[in-house]
């Protein structure tokens, strides 16, 4: 069996296993190890550990806990609530003003963080509460936050 066919099989099995709904990380660990072993031999286990440690020591990912911490701090202090309600009052003539506010804030965060997870989490912590309280459509609110978060790839 050539490596190309092995790769195709791996992609098929991977998609199937992901859609079944097992946590993706463990699926990827197992499938990567098994198919890598078929393809490379035992070298793949060393590569796996090495890759893990290099992702673990990634400097950009260190920003995620810090941003989440900042978001929780701001949310607990009530800062963001007041900010969002101020924006809401300012744009009260516009329909869906909070959506615009969230998109605006997420554009700024996208430039500042550069990590999708961080800005989605922080906006989810900060904006979702205000949006819920103002009876916004929850599905559309969640969509706005996640779409705004992808600006920061």
Partner 1 sequence: MSVVAEKLEITDELIAERRGDPTGKLPEDMPVWMGKIITKIDRFSLWIGRIVCWLTIPLFGAMVFEVVARYAFIAPTMWAYDISRMLAGALFMLGAGYALSKGVHIRADFIYRTWSVKTQGKVDLFLYVFFYFPGLFVFLWMSTDFAYLSWIRGERGMDTAWMPLMAPIKTCLPVGVLFLLIQGISELLKSYFAATKGRWP
Q: Which residues bind partner 1 (CB under 8 A)?
A: 17-27, 29-30, 33, 45-46, 48-50, 52-53, 56-59, 61-62, 64-66, 69, 132, 135-139
Distance between CA 133 and CA 123 in Å, rounded?
15
Distance between CA 129 and CA 134 in Å, rounded?
9
Cβ nearer to partner 1, comparing 6 with 63: 63
Distance between CA 36 and CA 95 in Å, rounded?
53
Shortest Cβ distance from residue 135 to partner 1 (Å)? 6
Shortest Cβ distance from residue 46 to partner 1 (Å)? 7
Cβ nearer to partner 1, comparing 24 with 111: 24
Residue 150, C-beta contacts closer than 8 angstroms, at least 6 positions apart: 116
Residue 115, C-beta contacts closer than 8 angstroms, at least 6 positions apart: 60, 61, 63, 64, 67, 152
Shortest Cβ distance from residue 51 to partner 1 (Å)? 11
Cβ nearer to partner 1, comparing 101 with 141: 141
Shortest Cβ distance from residue 92 to partner 1 (Å)? 18
User: Can you say how many angstroms the Cα of residue 121 is from the centroid of all Cα atoms in its chain?
Assistant: 7
Cβ nearer to partner 1, comparing 30 with 104: 30
């Amino acid at each position: 069996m050539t490596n190309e066919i092995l790769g195709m099989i791996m992609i098929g099995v991977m998609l199937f296993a992901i859609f079944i709904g097992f946590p993706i990380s463990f699926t990827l660990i197992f499938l990567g190890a098994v198919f890598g072993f078929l393809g490379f031999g035992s070298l793949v286990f060393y590569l796996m550990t090495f890759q893990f440690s290099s992702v673990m020591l990634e400097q950009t990912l260190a920003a995620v806990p810090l941003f989440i911490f900042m978001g929780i701090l701001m949310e607990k202090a009530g800062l963001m609530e007041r900010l969002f309600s101020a924006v809401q009052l300012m744009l009260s003539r516009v329909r869906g003003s909070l959506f615009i506010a969230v998109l605006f804030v997420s554009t700024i965060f996208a430039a500042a963080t550069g990590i999708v997870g961080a800005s989605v989490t922080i906006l989810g912590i900060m904006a979702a509460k205000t949006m819920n309280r103002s009876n916004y459509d929850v599905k559309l609110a969640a969509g706005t936050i996640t779409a705004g978060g992808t600006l920061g790839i």
